[in-house]
Structure 1
Amino acid sequence: MHEGTSLWWYLQSRNKKSLALNLKAPEGIDIVKQLVESADVLIENLRPGALEKLGLGWDVLHALNPRLTLVRISGYGQTGPYRDRPGFGAIGEAMGGIRYTTGTPGIPPARVGVSLGDSLASLHAVIGALMSVLRVKTGQGDGQVVDVSLVESVFNVMESLVPEYAMMGHVRERTGGSLPGIAPSNTYPTADNAYVVIAGNSDPIFKRLMTAIGRADLAARDDLAQNDGRALQSEMLDAAIAAWTTSHPIEHVLRVLEQAEVPAGRIYSVADIVADPHYQARDMILDATLPDGAEVMMPGIVPKLSQTPGQVNWQGPALGQHTEGVLGELGFSDSQIQRFKAEGVVQ
């Protein structure tokens, strides 16, 4: 937080305008309808049925603008027996499967270090919105509803979790830093108390890795030539690699593995990230100024587009910062806007 405002807000709301409306006021609803008439996309993050109670159901919105795409983000989706339950990103992570598989064996499931459920739902919302808008823009049909569930957004990144269970009865468990069934692939400590992820996933990489760490004897063993054999002896291989990494500082480990063309990466803290020359070379750490003049670093823009790379014009605005400007663009006079403010229709 900075002066009562989330730093995440300043990041996620870059280049956006803030219009604050009272949706309990009839004139507030009327303003929404005017905005909808020229909009490509409307995104809402309310419980299912809340828009309908406001008189802004899909039937109303679609009649106002048949080209509109309505993106609805909720805990469990717009249908189903759980639709009316409250839900946050953490609940999506719990019921989507990722919490069960995250952490160390033998202890309770762990939280991923960020609000992954919320971010995954947002990404799925963007994907759905772009698909719908592209359909409209290419003349293939009208706008439609994009139904995004927090639970399903997490579930959708859970790889082959379901077919593994359906075909083999296999339930994925927590495995710490290792990659189940793939060896060697794990997190290893170094002599200077850093950690490195090493992925010797393929047969040729495994041989290069073993040679690089001075274990050519393991590289030559027939029973370790393929992954199936290595997976059966993953603990032995991890011990051999750890014996080498703990004998050297992180920079030496990374240099040797890079020369051997073995995928490896230091586990970064945020301090490591902002100091990394590759991040800096790709403009991934930007200097920014908050509305009160405070200087701060922010992540850069992802993904990188060759023709329209984009730029950060301003950080997340204060609530209602652009109310007057947006209402003016809709054709409201200064006196009308001041009346709206006095009556609590807008902020």
Structure 2
Amino acid sequence: MAGGDRMTGKRLPLEGFRVLELGHYIAGPFAARLLADMGAEVIKVEPPEGDPHRGWGSQVDGHAVWFSIHGRNKLCVSLDLKSAEGREKVKRIAASCDALIENFRPGYLERIGLGPEVLQAINPRLTIARVSGYGQDGPYRDKPAFGSIGEAMGGIRHLTATPGVTEHPPPRCGVSIADDIAGIYAAMAVLGAAWAAKGDPAAKGRIIDVDLVSSVFSLMEGMLPEYGLFGWVRQPQGAALPTAAPTNTYLCADGKWLCVGGNSDAIYKRLMKVVGREDLGEDPRMATNNGRCANVQEIDAAIGAWTITLPAAEAERRLEAVDVPVSRLYDIKDCAEDPHFRARQTVMEVDDPLLNRRLLHPAPPFRFDGVSPPEMVRWTAPAVGAHNDRVFGELLQEEPKA
């Protein structure tokens, strides 16, 4: 089927791979967008009024700016899944798809007659990725959840607290990180299932179960075995880490913050020389990472005493000169204007016909040789039902509506 309004002429790795998206809000559509950015033909099914996410955040003429990214590279069709006609069309579309991604509450698709057993009876090769709050089984299966709940129960929100501060709640990171992580895992799992079926004409589609809580929990590094072996419960460390030192964020003279990573033996010595504390750099107690972790407060105090005397940009320049990992804390303005972001086209300009504007988009986070990042964005999010005639006409052989 023809893709969108502008094709690259270059081959992306998932061209010819067709995905049906029944998700809404963030996690499922984010997974589908990653596949679409890699060239998959994603058919996004929305209710007639559109995905609720179309109304989130800042808007231009009633169209959400964020959705320009969220729905990019997708063919958008509108169907009422509560109607027999809508469900029948979903079945017919699914018959020609390689994968389906959904993130409804567990059991919803079964209740409306679109469960895996129904869809895979029509298309045995269909892989179905199911993204939910707590998973498709277990005692919490039917509880409602959003990304914030995944952060809370998955353990990361406990770690974002400021040590010793109880009057303010532990902050979230500022984006829907649990949904995004689950979306990444769902996309990875779909590709894993596709690889397993590669070259096998008799391969059966897989059922993939991804949940927000487990996705966040997977990031907890060594905390679970530490608890199991030693009973340790890792506590919030602010901007530091208990397993590496020095790695922290330090206040500068102009009120800006500087993130410094000096947690290798050689880098640590260079860092301490720049800050004027060669004595700490040569201190045998701090020759290894474990020793530095045990004395991290002394090290952090020395670095902080140096950064507070300099503007952040100057402190950054001096540390970069001796190859110490360092960065000021960027806001979105810094990201948008940084020459590295622009040179790599991590920040790129695209035309959005729906908004009638030229927008900044983040590039797909992966690169494929022979295809530039702007070429991967074949089109921005279309209007609700923009591709009804194309999808229904080409796939379902329906006559376009007048």
Task: Identify whether the pair has TM-score above 0.5, normalized to the shorter chain.
Answer: yes
Partner of 1:91: 149
Task: Give the one of 365, 369, 373 matched to 1:306.
Answer: 369
Pair 1:324-2:389 in alignment:
yes
Quote the offset at 1:172 in angstroms: 1.3
Instruction: State how many pairs are aligned.
Output: 337
Task: Give the one of 253, 258, 278 matched to 1:196.
Answer: 258
In structure 2, what is the Cα distance between the partners aligned to 1:252 and 1:49?
57
In structure 2, what is the Cα distance between the partners aligned to 1:190 and 1:34?
61
Counterparts of residues 51-70 of structure 1 (less than 5 Å): 51-70=109-128
Structure 2 contact 131–212 (Cα < 8 Å) conserved: yes
**What whole-Å deviation, never above 9, does each CA across 1:118-152 have from its counterpart, x for those lacking one?**
10110011011111111122318311101111111
Quote the offset at 1:317 in angstroms: 1.3
Counterparts of residues 57-136 of structure 1 (less than 5 Å): 57-105=115-163, 106-107=165-166, 108-136=169-197
Partner of 1:235: 297
Partner of 1:345: none
- What is the letter of the counterpart of residue 109 of structure 1? P
- What is the letter of the counterpart of residue 132 of structure 1? A
Structure 1 contact 109–174 (Cα < 8 Å) conserved: no
SS state at 1:147 partner = strand
SS state at 2:184 partner = helix
In structure 1, what is the Cα distance between the partners aligned to 2:377 and 2:243?
43
Quote the offset at 1:308 in angstroms: 4.3
**What whole-Å deviation, never above 9, does each CA across 1:37-90 have from its counterpart, x for those lacking one?**
110011111111111111111111111111110111111111111111111111
Unpaired stretches in structure 1, ≥5 consecutive residues: 339-347
Task: Give the one of 220, 227, 235 matched to 2:282.
Answer: 220
In structure 2, what is the Cα distance between the partners aligned to 1:24 and 1:218?
68
- What is the letter of the counterpart of residue 382 of structure 2? P
In structure 2, what is the Cα distance between the partners aligned to 1:208 and 1:314?
47
Task: Give the one of 61, 70, 77 matched to 1:19.
Answer: 77
Quote the offset at 1:282 in angstroms: 0.2
Partner of 1:334: 399
Structure 2 contact 181–216 (Cα < 8 Å) conserved: yes
Pair 1:274-2:336 in alignment:
yes
Quote the offset at 1:229 in angstroms: 2.4
Cα distance change of structure 1 residues 333 and 157 upon mapping to structure 2, 3 Å threshold: same
Quote the offset at 1:292 in angstroms: 3.0
Moved more, 131-140 or 255-264: 131-140
Aligned-residue CA RMSD (Å): 1.6
Structure 2 contact 92–396 (Cα < 8 Å) conserved: no
Partner of 1:184: 246
Give aligned-pair identity as a percent: 43
Quote the offset at 1:315 in angstroms: 1.0
Pair 1:49-2:107 in alignment:
yes
Flag the structure with larger Rg. Answer: 1
**What whole-Å deviation, never above 9, does each CA across 1:96-130 have from its counterpart, x for those lacking one?**
11111112113332211110011011001101111
* TM-score between both structures, scaled by the size of structure 1: 0.93
Partner of 2:222: 160
In structure 2, what is the Cα distance between the partners aligned to 1:202 and 1:264?
13
Partner of 2:359: 296
SS state at 1:38 partner = coil
Quote the offset at 1:15 in angstroms: 1.0
Structure 1 contact 211–219 (Cα < 8 Å) conserved: yes
In structure 2, what is the Cα distance between the partners aligned to 1:202 and 1:292?
48
- What is the letter of the counterpart of residue 356 of structure 2? G
SS state at 2:105 partner = coil
SS state at 1:187 partner = strand
- What is the letter of the counterpart of residue 44 of structure 1? E
- What is the letter of the counterpart of residue 238 of structure 1? D
Moved more, 223-232 or 253-262: 223-232
* TM-score between both structures, scaled by the size of structure 2: 0.80
**What whole-Å deviation, never above 9, does each CA across 1:315-347 have from its counterpart, x for those lacking one?**
111111111221111244436x46xxxxxxxxx
- What is the letter of the counterpart of residue 199 of structure 2? T
- What is the letter of the counterpart of residue 124 of structure 2? P
Partner of 1:341: none
In structure 2, what is the Cα distance between the partners aligned to 1:331 and 1:112?
44
**What whole-Å deviation, never above 9, does each CA across 1:11-60 have from its counterpart, x for those lacking one?**
12111111010111111111111111110011111111111111111111
Unpaired stretches in structure 2, ≥5 consecutive residues: 1-57
- What is the letter of the counterpart of residue 30 of structure 1? E
